[in-house]
Structure 1
């Protein structure tokens, strides 16, 4: 196996199709997902994975197809085992390690989860090269992502970081950023995950994990929520890598542009479209859809309120293209939760911003940190004297 080749096993796209088929609310996408899932399974002869998806009812069981794939799997695994035995008899450690990695790679390709993990662990012990060891651990992370196994992902991300710190090359360091970024998004850590994806924007090579367009889409989605307005302009809107792909992502283009340009009615429409066409159908982001949409609304409300000392409910409703009752209920809920610093005068139909509350909060934070610093200085003074 060539050291610099990264095989796209397991095929992460198939896990996405399986997710779509497992969601009754996405029935309008089922026909294409069913077609693409079966096509991918046949292409990689994934008998073990086929048994899993048919047992759940996502695909109908074709006994002849299963038997054919199982026969192909056995024949290939027998060849790989013969190769390993021959390497142990007549060849050196490098050839043995190559044979072990070939077996592990094939088990990964066909979706044999537990055996693939065990085989990669054996290969990791026998492989001397640091670069190849990092590649094995990255493959284990992909297996975890494919099967949504967070223990495997987190354990091997830590292991990959340790190996990279020992002298991993530039490409593997950058690919690990993408792996970590995707995992952080999957556990709702949008800020840190977005930062990692943004760092890898100009150096993306992790095509074994996702396409470049999907990578840019996730980079935009995560960072539009967390970046300050000037940084959004500089790092997303002004990024050539984003602008190259943005025409192919019209919903995201509308989302970012209208938020930045304060066209809130168009922004709300783009957010609703994003929710239905990208967030809910995404295996990675679907569990966080409600959270993401809520936080984006709060972001837009806060951005508008920062520009005024007060404004009417009617004008705010018109700005967002919603009814007065809707905006009243939304603002009331977010104010009660401490997410927006304003008050509503229902008698006069006016929203008044409450900047002093923000200033007081900042002042209290400074005082608290100052007290901690003074205490530390006093303790240090006693030690020195």
Structure 2
């Protein structure tokens, strides 16, 4: 299941194609081409279980002859691998035994047999002493987890990897783990943590097996925009040389980032509409599409209103290149949800900001905590008196 140096792991490419072929926004003509690619990949790796599940879901046409051929090849290969393990155990050393078991693990991963792959990886781990090699097994399991989008398995693997690093481990593998964890956080809607991990990995990125570097930058920019304040965004993203070198390769991404920082709101919305298709067609981001759309709009509306005590709705609509009715509808939703600190004077056509005073909020919190402490002391004093 290992991808070549600098290339995405083939099974993760296949997983993305399976996602696209079931996506309603992909053209039917394009789906025909994708189905052919999926079938070729499944046949090439003898992925019998996946073939059966895709046929059951009507993604591929069921062909008993194709399935029988795959199963025959699988049985033959497993026999060879078992013979190799037996020979290593009888005639060779511990490292050769481990390598034979690892080969069987990778075979099960290649054919997409998740349960047997996990079982064999556990056996291989029992034959493994070096922390670095144990970490490599965790990375294989993580790739399997992302193929099946098994977040429970991914979470357990990340925790296991962190415990292994307490025993030792090199920086290269630690940096790789950050990207895996960042992808997990992004896929489970923890965008702030994902942004932090991705930004820490920009200069040390070597995790080409899960996605290319330009996709990594795409994820980094998207998660950072809704997670960082304006100053941090400038320092860590807008001016980052690693991001500047690649950002132009992703359509609309540069305009999306720079127009937000430069307060060019019309350009921002135009770039944002161009990016929505890419977000919808990403298997990790698509489940959070509506949430991300809301968060980005909250950021940009908050940034605009921060400059004003009050502003006419017409002026705001002009700045964003939309109608007054659209702004009225949009802001009323965000205000009702507590996302924006302002109120609409519909009669005067004015927005009045009522940003909470940080010092006043701290004072009120201190008073509440003081009252709570006094109540506890009074209760305690009654107990002592008794």
Q: TM-score, normalised by structure 1?
A: 0.90
Q: Paired residue for 1:381?
A: none
Question: Which segment drifts farther, 277-286 or 45-54?
Answer: 45-54
For the residue of structure 2 that corresponds to 1:311, the secondary structure is: strand
Unaligned runs of 5+ in 1: 376-385
Using the TM superposition, give the Cα deviation of residue 9 of structure 1 relative to its aligned residue in structure 2, in angstroms: 5.7
Give the Cα–Cα distance (whole angstroms) in 2 for the partners of residues 321 and 63 of structure 1.
Answer: 57
Q: Paired residue for 2:17?
A: 17
Q: 1:219–1:75: structure 2 CA closer, same or farther, 3 Å change rule?
A: same
Say if 1:141 and 1:153, in contact at 8 Å, map to a contact too. Answer: yes
Give the Cα–Cα distance (whole angstroms) in 2 for the partners of residues 202 and 182 of structure 1.
Answer: 17
The equivalences for 1:1-385 within 5 A come to: 11-27=11-27, 29-275=30-276, 277-356=277-356, 360-365=360-365
For the residue of structure 2 that corresponds to 1:115, the secondary structure is: helix
For the residue of structure 2 that corresponds to 1:343, the secondary structure is: strand
Q: 1:247–1:10: structure 2 CA closer, same or farther, 3 Å change rule?
A: closer
Give the Cα–Cα distance (whole angstroms) in 1 for the partners of residues 302 and 199 of structure 2.
Answer: 24
Give the Cα–Cα distance (whole angstroms) in 2 for the partners of residues 308 and 144 of structure 1.
Answer: 48
Aligned residue pair count: 374
Q: 1:6–1:324: structure 2 CA closer, same or farther, 3 Å change rule?
A: closer
Using the TM superposition, give the Cα deviation of residue 370 of structure 1 relative to its aligned residue in structure 2, in angstroms: 8.1
Q: Deviations over 1:106-141 (max 9, x none)?
A: 110111111111111111111111111111112111
Question: Which segment drifts farther, 304-313 or 332-341?
Answer: 332-341
For the residue of structure 1 that corresponds to 2:26, the secondary structure is: helix
For the residue of structure 1 that corresponds to 2:117, the secondary structure is: helix
Give the Cα–Cα distance (whole angstroms) in 1 for the partners of residues 8 and 114 of structure 2.
Answer: 15
Q: 1:249–1:9: structure 2 CA closer, same or farther, 3 Å change rule?
A: closer
Q: Deviations over 1:268-298 (max 9, x none)?
A: 12222222x2111111111100000001001
Give the Cα–Cα distance (whole angstroms) in 2 for the partners of residues 5 and 369 of structure 1.
Answer: 56
Quote the RMSD (CA, aligned, Å).
Answer: 2.7
Say if 1:10 and 1:110, in contact at 8 Å, map to a contact too. Answer: no
Q: Deviations over 1:337-382 (max 9, x none)?
A: 211111111111011111345553354346667889999xxxxxxx
Q: Paired residue for 2:383?
A: none
Q: 1:232–1:7: structure 2 CA closer, same or farther, 3 Å change rule?
A: closer
Give the Cα–Cα distance (whole angstroms) in 2 for the partners of residues 188 and 205 of structure 1.
Answer: 24
